[in-house]
Amino acid sequence: MNPQRILFGDNQFFGVNHMSEEKSRTQAMKFRDTPSIMRVLDYAYDSGIKTFMCTTYERVGEIADIVRDNPGRYPDFDFYPCLPYAHKYANSVGEVGIVETLKRYAPGGVLNTLVKGALSAVKQDMSKLMELLVDAELKRFQDVRTPVVFLQNIITDMLLGMKFYDLLGDFHRYIEKKYDAEAGLITMNLPLLVKVLKDQGIKNPIVCANVNKIGFRMCGGIDEYRKIIASGDCRVIAMSVLASGAIPPREAIEWVCSLDGLDSIVYGASSPANISNTKMMIEECWGLNSTQG
């Protein structure tokens, strides 16, 4: 399968803006409850953006509950979960430590191992631990559509840096086997990740990366990204196309849509006007109709 061309992201819902702390605080206050988020998602969905690419933070579970309980309202609503929600684990480690965090979030297999005092066995079997944590993160998405499941860049790039390449392959295969879904990976280093996945025997992976005119968080440089996107070796979803507001929307979207071979764009917006305007610009630049192409 190929991802839809235009996807809706969630950074604006929990106050992420890489250029402005003030804007982050304002957004976090605006979307401090689930109904305020659903109003924006409903508008995006009714505008024809059927895929929500989202971190697995707590309120996303409530959104999944709403979609699950209202199949007539959301017959073709797709979630693209991005896991793990690193802040949840980091906060828990700060509060109660690593062992208690594993007990808190992982299913029984890890808990039983810890109770037996065999923490070393857990450390030696990182692949099994990965599977248990994936299962825990995806529990809230049971019975909703999750055709692609992503590994967050904080983990993808850490594994790349540590040269734990096998774990990236294990994640990809586990998602396909256990969840009958495609695995996606988010990265700030597209050139290295695509090479590693090819070496792992993974063909045409779905990869989400920063793609923007100024090279913001694009490790390897714009020219390398152009080559990889045009190569057909992977399906690239462009994120941060506006570089957190550093590039004017029209200029940013015209540039990214001109890239040969780009599959999809994910963007976030907090108002109906911004949702509509951005979607229309992408459709215009890509030559799409008002529905997704």
Residue at 17 is within a domain: yes
Q: How far apart are CA 91 and CA 3, in angstroms?
A: 32
Residue at 113 is within a domain: no
Residue at 176 is within a domain: yes
**Total domain count for the chain?**
1
Residue at 260 is within a domain: yes
Q: Which of 41-49's residues contact partners 24+ apart within 8 Å by CB, and which partners?
A: 41/8, 43/272, 43/275, 44/8, 44/269, 44/275, 45/74, 45/77, 47/275, 47/276, 47/279, 48/6, 48/279, 48/290, 48/291, 48/292, 49/4, 49/6, 49/7, 49/8, 49/275, 49/279, 49/292
Q: How far apart are CA 252 and CA 245, in angstroms?
A: 9
- Report pLDDT for 11: 86
| Amino acid residing at 194 | V
Residue at 216 is within a domain: yes
Phi and psi torsions of 97, nearest 5°: 95, 170
Structural domain boundaries enclosing 148: 6-89+128-286
| Amino acid residing at 218 | M
Q: How far apart are CA 174 and CA 210, in angstroms?
A: 25
Q: Report residue 88 CA to chain centroid gap.
A: 16
Low-confidence ranges of the chain (pLDDT < 70): 15-29, 86-94, 97-124, 290-293
Residue at 102 is within a domain: no
Contact 175, 141 (CB under 8 A): no
Residue with tokens 């109660």: 96
Phi and psi torsions of 148, nearest 5°: -135, 135
Residue at 1 is within a domain: no
Q: How far apart are CA 104 and CA 164, in angstroms?
A: 25
- Report pLDDT for 211: 98
Residue at 106 is within a domain: no
- Report pLDDT for 100: 66
Q: Within the chain, how many helices (H) and strands (E) appear?
A: 14, 8
CATH of the domain at 134: 3.20.20.100
- Report pLDDT for 123: 47
